Amino acid sequence: MTVENYLAEAGALAGLAGVLAGFSLAAVIQLLTSGNGGRLTTAGIVVFSAASVMFLYSLIVAVLSFSAAAELNEVPLALDNLNNGALLIMFGAIYIFVGGIGMAGWMRSRIAGILTTILALISSCLITYAIGKVLSLFM
């Protein structure tokens, strides 16, 4: 892999992780300020907080890897395990985030909960399919 490709990949992952971390934090803040202190709201705060810190970890690793590659002007192979772990954590955070979206509908009503759960399940299946297809290219 060339340095340019590595930088593009690290930048894309950092951008995705940063945006999704922001959405997760916004959900946490919204739930904290909603005034509804039920168990489902507490669970939502925990779920979106978990997704947020996972995305932030992936963001920090991507930015540091990007910085190392740019500074060294070579692909930092010593960071492969760190980068792979951060990518797996980001995949997990995506599923937790989508699960939180599915759960959020239940805070509103039963119908909204059913619909958001179905949409979250469909999204999870599509995300799993996309990740599997891309990862199969490397095996």
Instruction: Report pLDDT for 35.
Output: 77
Alpha-carbon distance of 87 to 108, in angstroms, equals: 33
Cβ(134)–Cβ(87) below 8 Å: no
Instruction: Report pLDDT for 127.
Output: 97
Domain that holds residue 7: 3-136
Alpha-carbon distance of 135 to 133, in angstroms, equals: 6
How confident is the prediction for the chain on average, in pLDDT?
Answer: 94
Q: Does residue 69 register a pLDDT over 80? A: yes
Query: pLDDT tens for residues 23-41?
Result: 999 999 999 998 777 899 9
Residue 139: strand, helix, or coil: coil
Structural domain count of the chain: 1
The stretch 95-105 carries a mean pLDDT of 96
pTM: 0.91
- Retrieve residue 4's tokens: 């340019």
Alpha-carbon distance of 131 to 139, in angstroms, equals: 13
- Retrieve residue 126's tokens: 């599509």
